[in-house]
Amino acid sequence: MSSSYLANPLIFIVDTLFYLYMIVVALRLVMQWANWEYHNPLVQFIIKATQVPVKFLRQFIPALGRWDTATIVLLLLVTFAKLLAVGLIIGALPNGLMWLSVLLAEIFSLFISIFTVSIIIEVILSWVTPAGSYNPVAPLVSRMNAPLLRPVRNLIPSLGGIDLSPLFVLLGLQVLSMLVMPLLTGQI
């Protein structure tokens, strides 16, 4: 039995659990940026899932303007812990500045994924949500995606009632990822 026999499932579990929590912490940042409604059930879940560590970090780290630096530091710490845990399981840890590079690449990739999925969710909800009904996720993804979609909607008008702006924003996010990720990971 090889050592990777147990390592691969363990890496999968550790990576997935840390990644899910990273998403929740990142959504707490997005929540503040997009001015999500405080009483929304998803917002309440995000706050409750992150309140204890954020409250602890706020004792030492003050907010800078509109940004909750404690949440940013929490995201950095959780990402670092994920990289450390997976690196220890694999038996390969980044050296020196590679830590910072891999950490930033991981967070950048996380936000690209979050915005990609949120745009896809908004598109699907626009197809399946009956008129006049309420979905607690719809206003959140709409507010989150508006700064990305609005400029494209101003440039590309709706064609026969079909809004192509999500398609162009998704393409733009993927191109941005293709341009930035090699710089962050040093694979130029």
Per-residue pLDDT of 51-81, as tens digits, reads 999 999 999 998 888 788 999 999 999 999 9
Looking at the fold, whether 67 and 113 belong to one and the same domain comes out as: no
Looking at the fold, whether 56 and 117 belong to one and the same domain comes out as: no
Indicate whether 1 pLDDT > 70. Answer: no
Instruction: Give 185's pLDDT tier (boundaries 50, 70, 90).
Output: confident
Residue 159 confidence (pLDDT)? 79
Q: Identify the DSSP state of 130.
A: P
Boundary-marking domain end, from 64, 93, 122: 93
Q: Which residues form the domain of 102?
A: 96-188
Task: Quote the pTM value.
Answer: 0.89
Looking at the fold, whether 183 and 143 belong to one and the same domain comes out as: yes
Alpha helices in the chain (DSSP H): 3-33, 41-58, 69-90, 98-128, 138-155, 165-185
